[in-house]
């Protein structure tokens, strides 16, 4: 009976998916094992137990030169309760009997994996085995040339960094057959708790004969020679590749569960809008997952680690998510044997913890050339261990959420997804950080009431590609009292990236698209307008005496379909910026609103027909940040769960645990905030924190989890105010009930 209900549910999902949300079309096509895992609460397994992960990735000569006891002792000193250890794939660290499974040339008759595993088990640790199937040696090439990836010119691909090795095809028999045997052998010999694969999903497009034949069988087309997602072969490829990989995941998972039903296959997967594997399906398949963004690189604030926590949680819910951090550098030149500054490690890990990630350190090479990181991680992990009960979050109490959309990136963004999609999201994200508004993220494939009704406001930073169903779900959310803030081309395209004649959400925005996009604009402005009574709309808070602020770079020409009296900002069109004698506005005033504000019942709608979020990310104009903050605050229209007043830039999150509430404050204030690494931690001055108490809860105790100072707190009604005298990198206010 139970399985029939599940089956019916799957059929309904497939029907819904077929009609509407289609990224990928097959997302409901799960194996029976995955279905039963979905229906059973996953937290009953081992998955929720580990809070601190340790990963040791051995290099091939480690068996001869490293000291396993050093590592076992380090795991113990750090209170690591789970480990990920190298087992097989490109190099086997156990006496495998599978032909062509390359044993470490330095292990002789030993079993390095088995020895470490035994040591971890003695300490009661969860252990998962790591495999890496992306590269093979010459003997594999000679025996099975068809297992090797092929480039678009028909050449088999040598490994880009280790030229004596070959790159494998992820979607053919090497993974489906050979690696299945490897995973079965590891599981049957060691009965590990899981198998985790790195680089399991391929190294770019493969044109081998298996991929050609399988793709043709799937859709009748040749493999794409274009990256344009509007071409049928590329559109089909995007969907087919995911189907192949989800099939592979479910195959490996099913095979190891036949041997050990408590084990799971855990692929190294997941991320945000630019991730090519559907996060909704990942969230359905995975009982536990790890975010593999190991450090900052290039221009990036430390909040990128916390962002991954939010993106994963959007589809994983409260299932455990490990936050992998390398203590090393993550720049493209790949120095793997040196380490980051202490301050950088601390701020990066703190932001992950503040955003619900369970710390997971990863070190490549069992022999250490640079040991500076050891004490730092030990100190962080010890703090984490001592405060574990306050870090086992049950729910985020954020009332605002930012939507992210992989289909928008894949089909509307295409090869320009970074600027057309991701930069909007990053700008919005940074504006919310600066505004100190705690927020979560929502996957656009999960817009059902159970996923979004805990939020008062959903933000759509240029979520251009939305299906009719998704638009209906958003409309229903507004009918139920939800507010929305949307920018630029949100809903102007369908889920496959085809432009609609008008916004899918035109009725909510109250405007129609005229078919014209203006830009790139130079020297265009926004005029700050007063109400007839000389007051200013709340979205202009802090901008009242500005007169005008700078415009974005692109704007959509829209016509109001509703009445928008007294628009707070209006367009000043571009005018020449040279010669200087000619720099004067040809049209100093228009009546064209550049923000559309509506109230429908208790719901508020903000639509900005320009690229405010993307421009903010590009030029970081503070006026844009304030306008975004004010727009979200106006739309949300309620007392926030937490406000934090004081100098600096903080990442603020608020959580409920079983018997407590926590507010995390991560101090990002640093000259190296936008580009790491931090050289030193610089304390920020006092912050006043006002926290809403959950209904009916009386605080028993309030403490800081980092500082030894006893907090001074005042309660007024249902809010409690705490002054935090100073924050070095991270402070947590914990309220026990
Ligand atoms: Zn292939």
Q: Which tens digits make up the pLDDT trace of 529-551?
A: 999 999 999 999 999 999 999 99
In the prediction, which pLDDT does 256 show?
Answer: 98
C-alpha 610 – ligand 1 centre gap (Å): 42
pLDDT digits (tens, 9 = 90+) for 356-378: 999 999 999 999 999 999 999 99
C-alpha 133 – ligand 1 centre gap (Å): 13
Kindly tell me if the per-residue pLDDT of 705 is higher than 80.
yes
Kindly tell me if the per-residue pLDDT of 60 is higher than 60.
yes
Look up residue 420 and give its DSSP letter.
Answer: I
C-alpha 145 – ligand 1 centre gap (Å): 11
Task: From 467, 426, 418, select the one nearest 445 (Cα to Cα).
Answer: 467
C-alpha 116 – ligand 1 centre gap (Å): 35
Crossing angle (nearest 10°) for helices 32-39 and 2-19: 100
Average pLDDT of the chain? 93
Look up residue 38 and give its DSSP letter.
Answer: H
Query: Are 567 and 609 contacting, i.e. CB atoms less than 8 angstroms apart?
Result: no
Q: How confident is the model at residue 31 (pLDDT cuts 50, 70, 90)?
A: very low
200: CB partners within 8 A, 6+ apart: 131, 132, 133, 134, 170, 175, 179, 248, 267, 268
C-alpha 147 – ligand 1 centre gap (Å): 7
C-alpha 470 – ligand 1 centre gap (Å): 34
In the prediction, which pLDDT does 659 show?
Answer: 96
C-alpha 415 – ligand 1 centre gap (Å): 22
Neighbours of 129 (CB within 10 A): 29
Q: H/E element holding 614?
A: helix 612-619
C-alpha 525 – ligand 1 centre gap (Å): 52
C-alpha 649 – ligand 1 centre gap (Å): 47
C-alpha 210 – ligand 1 centre gap (Å): 6
Kindly tell me if the per-residue pLDDT of 9 is higher than 70.
no
Kindly tell me if the per-residue pLDDT of 311 is higher than 60.
yes
C-alpha 209 – ligand 1 centre gap (Å): 7
In the prediction, which pLDDT does 45 show?
Answer: 85
In the prediction, which pLDDT does 664 show?
Answer: 98
C-alpha 208 – ligand 1 centre gap (Å): 4
C-alpha 332 – ligand 1 centre gap (Å): 26
C-alpha 213 – ligand 1 centre gap (Å): 9
C-alpha 312 – ligand 1 centre gap (Å): 29
Residue 80: CA count within 13 A, CB half-sphere: 28
C-alpha 469 – ligand 1 centre gap (Å): 35
Which of 21-51 are b and which e, b meaning 16 or more Cβ less than 10 Å from the residue's Cβ? Answer: bbbbbbbbbbbebbbebbeeebeebbbbebb
Residues forming beta bridges with residue 298, ordered by sequence position: none
C-alpha 149 – ligand 1 centre gap (Å): 5
In the prediction, which pLDDT does 336 show?
Answer: 83
- Whole-number Å distance between alpha carbons of 526 and 631: 15
Look up residue 118 and give its DSSP letter.
Answer: H
Task: From 284, 403, 347, 310, select the one nearest 655 (Cα to Cα).
Answer: 310
Give the residue-averaged pLDDT of 8-26: 36
Distances (CA, A) of 430 to 254, 313, 626: 41, 19, 11
Task: From 451, 456, 450, 449, select the one nearest 400 (Cα to Cα).
Answer: 456
Which of 318-332, 514-528, 723-737 shows the lowest mean pLDDT across its residues? 318-332
C-alpha 167 – ligand 1 centre gap (Å): 10
pLDDT digits (tens, 9 = 90+) for 383-434: 999 999 999 999 999 999 999 999 999 999 999 999 999 999 999 999 999 9
C-alpha 170 – ligand 1 centre gap (Å): 6
Crossing angle (nearest 10°) for helices 68-77 and 373-386: 40
Q: H/E element holding 264?
A: strand 264-267
C-alpha 103 – ligand 1 centre gap (Å): 25
In the prediction, which pLDDT does 383 show?
Answer: 98
In the sheet with 548-550, reading across from the earlier edge strand, the strands are 548-550, 525-528, 569-572
pLDDT digits (tens, 9 = 90+) for 92-135: 999 999 999 999 999 999 999 999 999 999 999 999 999 999 99
Kindly tell me if the per-residue pLDDT of 345 is higher than 80.
yes
Q: Is 710 exposed, middle or buried (0-12, 13-18, 19+ CB in 10 A)?
A: exposed
Look up residue 710 and give its DSSP letter.
Answer: P
- Whole-number Å distance between alpha carbons of 654 and 398: 7
C-alpha 163 – ligand 1 centre gap (Å): 19
C-alpha 172 – ligand 1 centre gap (Å): 6
Integer-rounded Cα radius of gyration of the chain:
27
C-alpha 361 – ligand 1 centre gap (Å): 33
C-alpha 215 – ligand 1 centre gap (Å): 10
| pTM for the model | 0.94
In the prediction, which pLDDT does 538 show?
Answer: 98
Which of 272-299 are b and which e, b meaning 16 or more Cβ less than 10 Å from the residue's Cβ? Answer: bbebebbbbbbbbbbbbbbbbbbbbeee
C-alpha 141 – ligand 1 centre gap (Å): 14
Task: From 618, 641, 653, 623, select the one nearest 730 (Cα to Cα).
Answer: 653
Q: Which tokens sit at 418? A: 């970074």
Check residues 23 and 667 and name the one with the higher pLDDT. Answer: 667
Question: End-to-end distance of the chain based on CA atoms, in angstroms?
Answer: 42
C-alpha 160 – ligand 1 centre gap (Å): 17
C-alpha 240 – ligand 1 centre gap (Å): 13
C-alpha 439 – ligand 1 centre gap (Å): 41
Q: How confident is the model at residue 334 (pLDDT cuts 50, 70, 90)?
A: confident
Q: Which tokens sit at 628? A: 């975004």
In the prediction, which pLDDT does 39 show?
Answer: 38
Q: What share of the chain is helix, strand, coil (3-state, %, to 5)?
A: 35, 25, 45
Kindly tell me if the per-residue pLDDT of 23 is higher than 70.
no
In the prediction, which pLDDT does 337 show?
Answer: 86
C-alpha 406 – ligand 1 centre gap (Å): 24
C-alpha 212 – ligand 1 centre gap (Å): 7
- Whole-number Å distance between alpha carbons of 398 and 641: 7
In the prediction, which pLDDT does 3 show?
Answer: 41
C-alpha 552 – ligand 1 centre gap (Å): 44
C-alpha 542 – ligand 1 centre gap (Å): 57
Which of 36-45, 407-416, 475-484, 629-638 shows the lowest mean pLDDT across its residues? 36-45
Give the residue-averaged pLDDT of 478-507: 98
Q: Is 557 exposed, middle or buried (0-12, 13-18, 19+ CB in 10 A)?
A: middle
Q: How confident is the model at residue 330 (pLDDT cuts 50, 70, 90)?
A: confident
- Whole-number Å distance between alpha carbons of 187 and 165: 26
In the prediction, which pLDDT does 371 show?
Answer: 95
* Residue linked to tokens 């059929």: 11
Kindly tell me if the per-residue pLDDT of 36 is higher than 80.
no
Query: Are 133 and 174 contacting, i.e. CB atoms less than 8 angstroms apart?
Result: yes
Q: What are phi and psi of 378, to 5 degrees?
A: -60, -40
Residues forming beta bridges with residue 103, ordered by sequence position: 92
Length of the chain: 737
Kindly tell me if the per-residue pLDDT of 22 is higher than 90.
no
C-alpha 148 – ligand 1 centre gap (Å): 7
In the prediction, which pLDDT does 174 show?
Answer: 98
In the prediction, which pLDDT does 333 show?
Answer: 87
pLDDT digits (tens, 9 = 90+) for 613-622: 999 999 999 9
In the prediction, which pLDDT does 8 show?
Answer: 37
Task: From 395, 346, 344, select the one nearest 673 (Cα to Cα).
Answer: 344
Kindly tell me if the per-residue pLDDT of 42 is higher than 60.
no
- Provide the CA 222 distance to its chain's centre, in angstroms: 33
């Amino acid at each position: 009976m139970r399985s029939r209900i599940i089956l019916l549910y799957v059929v309904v999902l497939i029907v819904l998916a077929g009609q509407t949300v289609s990224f990928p079309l097959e997302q409901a096509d799960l194996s029976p094992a995955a279905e039963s895992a979905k229906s059973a609460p996953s937290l009953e397994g081992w998955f929720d137990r580990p809070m601190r992960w340790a990963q040791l990735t051995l290099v091939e000569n480690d068996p001869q030169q490293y000291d396993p006891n050093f590592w076992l002792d380090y795991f113990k000193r750090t209170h690591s309760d789970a480990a990920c250890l190298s087992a097989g794939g490109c190099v086997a660290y156990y006496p495998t009997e599978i032909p062509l499974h390359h044993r470490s040339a330095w292990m002789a008759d030993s079993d390095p994996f088995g020895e470490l595993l035994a040591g971890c088990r003695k300490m009661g640790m969860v252990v998962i085995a790591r495999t890496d199937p992306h590269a093979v040696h010459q003997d594999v090439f000679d025996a099975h040339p068809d297992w090797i990836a092929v480039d678009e010119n028909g050449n088999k691909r040598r490994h880009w960094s280790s030229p004596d090795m070959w790159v494998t095809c992820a979607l053919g028999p090497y993974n489906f057959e050979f690696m299945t045997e490897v995973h079965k052998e590891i599981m049957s010999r060691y009965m590990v708790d899981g198998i985790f694969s790195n680089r399991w999903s391929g190294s770019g497009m493969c044109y081998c004969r298996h991929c050609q034949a399988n793709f043709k069988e799937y859709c009748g087309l040749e493999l794409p020679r274009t990256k344009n997602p509007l071409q049928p072969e590329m559109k089909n490829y995007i969907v087919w590749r995911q189907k192949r990989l989800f099939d592979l995941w479910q195959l490996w998972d099913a095979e190891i569960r036949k041997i050990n039903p408590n084990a799971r296959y855990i692929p190294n997967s997941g991320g945000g809008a630019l991730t090519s594997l559907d996060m909704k399906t990942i969230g359905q398949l995975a009982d536990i997952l790890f975010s593999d963004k190991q450090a900052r690189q290039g221009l990036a604030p430390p909040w990128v680690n916390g962002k991954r926590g939010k993106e994963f949680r959007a589809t994983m819910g409260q299932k455990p998510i490990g936050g992998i951090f390398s203590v090393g550098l993550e720049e493209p030149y790949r120095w793997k044997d040196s380490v980051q500054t202490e301050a950088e490690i601390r701020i990066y890990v703190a932001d992950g913890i503040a955003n619900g990630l369970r710390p997971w350190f990863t070190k490549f090479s069992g022999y250490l050339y640079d040991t500076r990181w050891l004490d730092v991680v030990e100190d962080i992990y010890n703090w984490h261990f001592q405060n574990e009960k306050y870090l086992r979050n049950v729910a985020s109490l954020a009332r605002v959420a930012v939507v992210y959309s992989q289909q928008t990136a894949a089909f509307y963004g295409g090869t320009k997804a970074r600027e057309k999609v991701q930069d909007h999201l990053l700008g919005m994200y940074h504006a919310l950080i600066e505004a100190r508004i705690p927020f979560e993220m929502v996957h656009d494939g999960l817009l059902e009431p159970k996923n979004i009704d805990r939020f008062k406001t959903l933000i759509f930073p240029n979520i251009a590609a939305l299906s009719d169903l998704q638009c209906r779900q958003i409309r229903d959310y507004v009918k139920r009292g939800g507010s929305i803030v949307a920018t630029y081309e949100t809903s102007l395209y369908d889920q496959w990236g085809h432009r609609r004649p008008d916004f899918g959400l035109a009725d909510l925005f109250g405007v129609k698209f005229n078919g014209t996009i203006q830009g790139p604009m130079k020297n265009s402005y926004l005029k700050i307008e007063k109400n007839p009574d000389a007051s200013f709309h709340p979205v202009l808070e802090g901008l009242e005496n500005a007169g005008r602020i700078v415009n974005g770079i692109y704007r959509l020409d829209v016509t109001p379909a509703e009445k928008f009296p007294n628009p707070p900002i209006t367009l000043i069109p571009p005018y020449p910026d040279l010669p200087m004698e000619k720099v004067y506005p040809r049209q100093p005033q228009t009546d064209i609103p550049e923000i559309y504000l509506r109230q429908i019942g208790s719901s508020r709608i903000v639509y900005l027909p320009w690229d405010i979020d993307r421009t903010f990310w590009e030029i970081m104009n503070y006026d844009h940040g304030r306008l975004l903050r004010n727009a979200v605050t106006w739309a949300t229209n309620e007392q926030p769960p937490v406000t934090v007043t004081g100098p600096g830039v903080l990442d603020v999150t608020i959580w409920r645990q079983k018997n407590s509430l926590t507010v995390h404050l991560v101090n990002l204030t640093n000259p190296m905030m936008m580009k790491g690494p931090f050289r030193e931690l610089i304390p920020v001055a006092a912050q006043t924190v006002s926290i809403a108490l959950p209904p009916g809860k009386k605080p028993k105790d309030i403490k800081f989890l980092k500082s030894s100072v006893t907090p001074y707190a005042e309660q007024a009604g249902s809010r409690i105010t705490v002054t935090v005298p100073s924050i070095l990198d991270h402070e947590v206010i914990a309220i026990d009930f």
